[in-house]
Structure 1
Amino acid sequence: MAMTVVFGVDIGGSGIKGAPVDLESGELTEERYKVLTPHPASPEAVVGAVCEVVQHFGHQGPVGLTFPGVVVDGHTRTAANVAQGWIGLDAEGLFQQALDLSCTVLNDADAAGLAEVTYGAGREQDGVVLVLTFGTGIGSGLFVDGTLVPNTELGHLELRGKDAERRASSAAKERHDLTWPEWAIRVDEYLDLVDRLFSPRLIVIGGGVSRKHDKFLPLLKQREARVVPARLLNDAGIVGAAMAAAKAT
């Protein structure tokens, strides 16, 4: 019989949070527990923080974990917002050893996207769907008729000569002390870029800033693609991580 409650951990540039997830409903069964991401975010320091989150719940069983970078077969290939020591690491093996539990690791925005197309704003939407998470960087989950194209990392597309996330992430808003209307102009510019490349039918805006979507979504210009807030808000990564762990067992 398939497991219905699985543990998910979302590793972000600023925070590491986790909770058990009911995969029947896509909802957390307990209030999530969060710790600050260590700086520098070395593998050893992050593993310690993840252990604190998982052990807070006394959890035993499979664990799904998101990572803010490219993940292929459990190995972390890039590390834009964490320490460079992650590059080329067998992250899955590292977490399994530390937790003594079965672990599955995937890209953070891919996890958020999986949750949104299964339980949230992208459910039953055919064609191209793009889930974008705005936080420390910009993550992207690209789906074609519900199937994930993994590790797109579209926050690193070039925009005005630099990584797009340097201009348009929510961290960039804080760094440059931008008003909501000023930041919306940058978000629109970024959406124009991904619009031209992928012609999505639906763009779902997630990440920490999604809980304040009423401040900026109405300021964005009309476009062919519908632009909507994530329904699972900032819990989407946790839910998607748990989904991946359940699928792997």
Structure 2
Amino acid sequence: MDQVIGIDLGGTAIKLARFTAEGELLAQLERPTPQPAVPGAVTMALCEAVAELDPGRQAASVGVGLPGPMDAQARVARVCINLPGWEEVPLAEWLEPRLQRRVTLANDGNCAVVGEAWRGAAKGFEDVVLLTLGTGVGGGVLINGALFTGHNGAAAEPGLIGVDPAGPPCNSGNRGSLEQYASITALRRLCDREPRELSEAADAGQSEAIQTWDQYGRQLGVGVSSLVYLFTPQLVLLGGGLAGAAHHFLPAVRREVERRVQAVSREGLRIEACALGNGAGRLGAAKLALQRLGGMMTHD
């Protein structure tokens, strides 16, 4: 039975899982991301975690999702703006001799949309925009059922579009990017409480918490409106760490899109939370590894 490992590398956690070639979950593991999350420390943490996840070396290939763009060959992490020291890191080259498995890299948002299309909320849809709402705001785009990666592999970065020219500075060099209005940091600017606590407060009917989520949804809706004009998708999916509270902010997002986007550009549009939660990234990374590297064990 062919097996594959999918890894979702985030600013706070590394999520790993081992799957069959059909996407059935066999084993999973979560480890804290080393702090500071410099490339060398993360590389060693990934190697240790893979050894723990797959001690019998049953998986032949590994897909790693990272928060930033890869090179066109999916071997080098060009930049991860919210991880220190991540510029032109040849992570696949570093990992392969240590893991003794073939490795491919992908943007974490791209992984998430591939995972949702394979076994989640985007199954059966051809044109999809997905946003991951977490430490940063990433995302991925499917056009005609295929992953949109741009001419050099660096697309899409929907979290880095500008929504306010005078807004807070972003690690990307932009100012007032969607990330500055839709990330966990952005939510804390509105109300300095943990997202989980804020969600529980809104569940309990606290008006301040409800208003905070509504304001957050309106800010997110401004960015989603621009993305809808650009891609006219059938489906916009919202994932990442904040998606667990989507029931609090989805109505505001939908209202904002309805207010800002002309009817012909949002005809039949659905805006939903991801079905796979935080599991979409590692599943999509595994799927991309299967597509690019195949499932068979290789010996060089």
TM-score, structure 2 as length reference: 0.76
Q: Deviations over 1:181-202 (max 9, x none)?
A: 2211211111122122222221
> Partner amino acid for 2:84?
A
> Partner amino acid for 2:13?
G
Instruction: State how far apart, in whole Å, the 2-side matches of 1:105 and 1:156 are.
Output: 20
The aligned counterpart of 2:273 is 229
Instruction: State how far apart, in whole Å, the 2-side matches of 1:174 and 1:49 are.
Output: 29
Identity %: 31
SS at match of 1:81: coil
Query: Which has more radius of gyration?
Result: 2
- Moved runs in structure 1, 4+ residues, more than 3 A? none
| Correspondence 1:78-227 to 2 at 5 A | 78-84=79-85, 86-126=86-126, 128-150=127-149, 151-161=155-165, 162=175, 163-177=177-191, 179-222=212-255, 223=258, 224=266, 225-227=269-271
Instruction: State how far apart, in whole Å, the 1-side matches of 2:103 and 2:146 are.
Output: 22
The aligned counterpart of 1:11 is 9
Instruction: State how far apart, in whole Å, the 2-side matches of 1:95 and 1:39 are.
Output: 19
Q: Verify the 8 A CA contact 2:141 2:147 in the aligned structure 1.
A: yes
Q: Verify the 8 A CA contact 1:17 1:53 in the aligned structure 2.
A: no
Which stretch has the larger CA shift, 87-96 or 172-181? Answer: 172-181
Q: How much has 1:43 moved relative to structure 2? A: 0.7
Which stretch has the larger CA shift, 233-242 or 188-197? Answer: 188-197
Instruction: State how far apart, in whole Å, the 1-side matches of 2:106 and 2:253 are.
Output: 30
> Partner amino acid for 1:236?
A
Q: How much has 1:59 moved relative to structure 2? A: 5.3
Which stretch has the larger CA shift, 93-102 or 5-14? Answer: 93-102
Gaps of 5+ in 1: none
Q: Deviations over 1:4-23 (max 9, x none)?
A: x3111100122111011234
Q: Deviations over 1:29-78 (max 9, x none)?
A: 22x31122222211101112212321222252311111111012111112
Aligned CA distance change for structure 1 residues 174 and 139 (closer, same or farther; 3 Å)? same
The aligned counterpart of 2:39 is 43
Q: How much has 1:176 moved relative to structure 2? A: 4.1
> Partner amino acid for 2:181?
R
Aligned CA distance change for structure 1 residues 175 and 53 (closer, same or farther; 3 Å)? farther
Aligned CA distance change for structure 1 residues 27 and 175 (closer, same or farther; 3 Å)? farther
Q: Verify the 8 A CA contact 1:11 1:17 in the aligned structure 2.
A: yes
Instruction: State how far apart, in whole Å, the 2-side matches of 1:99 and 1:209 are.
Output: 32
SS at match of 1:159: coil
Q: Deviations over 1:170-224 (max 9, x none)?
A: 3321354262122112111111221222222210111122222222213323442
> Partner amino acid for 1:184?
G
Instruction: State how far apart, in whole Å, the 2-side matches of 1:177 and 1:52 are.
Output: 37
